[in-house]
Amino acid sequence: MSDSEARNFEYLAYGLIACWVILVAYVLTLVARGRRLSRQLENVQRMMEDREGK
């Protein structure tokens, strides 16, 4: 394989990896947001239970 062919494949790999990295990064933001929402839901439920207790 010539140098230019190797470089071609190298950049193709970068391109494919970049596609996956962007998708995975977005999925991770979804996961982080999901965790934050679960925490918020727990806090609100606890707050409502406290108020009902009073």
Contact residues for other proteins, defined by CB under 8 A: 4-5, 7-9, 11-12, 14-16, 18-19, 22-23, 26-27, 30, 33-34, 37, 40-41, 44-45, 47-48, 51-52
**What is the smallest separation between the CB atom of 23 and other proteins, expressed in angstroms?**
7
The CA-atom distances, in angstroms, between 20 and each of 8, 14, 24, 33, 36 are 19, 10, 6, 20, 24
Dihedral Cα 21, 22, 28, 31, nearest 10 deg: -140
**What is the smallest separation between the CB atom of 30 and other proteins, expressed in angstroms?**
6
Q: Which residue has the tokens 């996956």?
A: 20
**What is the smallest separation between the CB atom of 3 and other proteins, expressed in angstroms?**
12
